[in-house]
Amino acid sequence: MKIYFCCTDFKAEPWVAALRAALPQAEIEVWAPGAGPADYAVVWAPPQAFLDEQPQIKALFNLGAGVDALTQLRLPAQTKLVRLDDAGMSVQMAEYVCHALIRHFREFDAYAADVAQGKWSYRKPRLREDFPVGIMGLGVLGQRVARAVQAFEFPLRGWSRSPKELPGVRCYAGEEQLAEFLAETKVLVCLLPLTGQTQGILNRETLAQLQPGGYLINVARGAHLVEEDLIPLLDGGHLAGATLDVFRQEPLPAGHPFWRHPKITITPHTSARTLRDESVAQIAGKILALERGEPIGGVVDHHQGY
């Protein structure tokens, strides 16, 4: 059994060492152009040349939950595309979203600004029932975020492409219920997969349907947001602010207006990072299951894109 590691933005040596320790029976190498055929591959944003050279690959294991970079490539028809189910990312995402939500709800950013100017200030406490949280995308990450937000007793709404039922969450599904979901939401959290249908879904029309004083938290993909539509809604007062972890171009260009806008909080795509030990254990387990002819979870539907 041969496995290639082909990942941009990841230092290869520790990953290859961990994979070799988890799969001692396998031959594991870093892919280079012209290399011989392999059975499986662990990838992140591989070049098209890799896929063209390896049409026999049984499965590609993506080092992340989002597979949009791979679905844009020409994949061998018989190759399974497998995303990470969780591997420690969902709890990180829950931490991030709850931090951004509570920071806004409790006005901690305003208190910090006052403290920086030497002011001892007070603000009237807000009511949680006035801040319903709407989560777009109710997969593994969205459901974990919903459970975390529930602990703070905010009203919860959820929207997904197909119907879901989650305890304590008022769920909506499909295009026909999107407007109703948005109207029920004040703090909008985007955790959608990036597909042709969801690209640009955060735009002037949809964000304007949030309750007045709405707040956006985008931790999915930068291409979900039509960036030029956000600032007019902030400056006009319909949106109170936004926390953005992802952007159409990363790193965010130095002259981008998001850097200096007082109502936008930026983080450098760090809401949930891939954890090596958890990821390797999951990938190794799935490879061994495939070798035994057993089904595995996390297989991506090529048509749906997730």
**Structural domains of the chain, count:** 2
Q: What is the pLDDT of residue 303?
A: 67
The domain of 256 spans: 89-266
Residue at 304 is within a domain: no
pTM reported for the whole predicted model = 0.91
Q: What is the pLDDT of residue 235?
A: 98
Angle formed by the axes of helices 140-150 and 89-105, to 10°? 40
Residue at 229 is within a domain: yes
Do 51 and 152 sit in the same domain of this protein? no
**Would you write out the chain's pLDDT as a tens digit for each of its 306 residues?**
999 999 987 899 999 999 999 999 999 999 999 999 999 999 999 999 999 999 999 999 999 878 888 888 999 888 999 998 887 899 999 999 999 999 999 999 999 999 999 999 999 999 999 999 999 999 999 999 999 999 999 999 999 999 999 999 999 999 999 999 999 999 999 999 999 999 999 999 999 999 999 999 999 999 999 999 999 999 999 999 999 999 999 999 999 999 999 999 999 999 999 899 999 999 999 999 999 999 999 999 876 766
Q: In whole angstroms, give the CA distance from residue 303 to residue 290.
A: 22
Q: What is the pLDDT of residue 305?
A: 67
Residue at 94 is within a domain: yes
Do 208 and 282 sit in the same domain of this protein? no
Please tell me which residue in 269, 273, 276, 292 is annotated as part of the active site.
269
In whole angstroms, how far apart are CA 49 and each of 5, 57, 262?
14, 13, 43
302 given a catalytic annotation = no
In sequence order, what are the beta bridge partners of 5?
30, 42
Q: What is the pLDDT of residue 68?
A: 86
Token duo for residue 237: 């007062």
273 given a catalytic annotation = no
Do 23 and 56 sit in the same domain of this protein? yes
Residue at 169 is within a domain: yes
List helix spans (H) across the chain: 12-22, 48-53, 68-71, 89-105, 108-116, 140-150, 178-183, 204-207, 227-235, 276-291
Do 109 and 248 sit in the same domain of this protein? yes
Query: What CATH number did the domain enclosing 65 receive?
Result: 3.40.50.720
Residue at 299 is within a domain: no
Residue at 306 is within a domain: no
Do 130 and 236 sit in the same domain of this protein? yes
Do 238 and 115 sit in the same domain of this protein? yes
In whole angstroms, how far apart are CA 51 and each of 59, 60, 78, 189, 232?
11, 10, 12, 34, 42
Do 28 and 53 sit in the same domain of this protein? yes
Q: What is the pLDDT of residue 85?
A: 84
Do 240 and 194 sit in the same domain of this protein? yes
Please tell me which residue in 221, 256, 273, 303 is annotated as part of the active site.
221
Q: What is the pLDDT of residue 77?
A: 85
Do 143 and 25 sit in the same domain of this protein? no
First to last CA, the chain: 27
Do 81 and 94 sit in the same domain of this protein? no
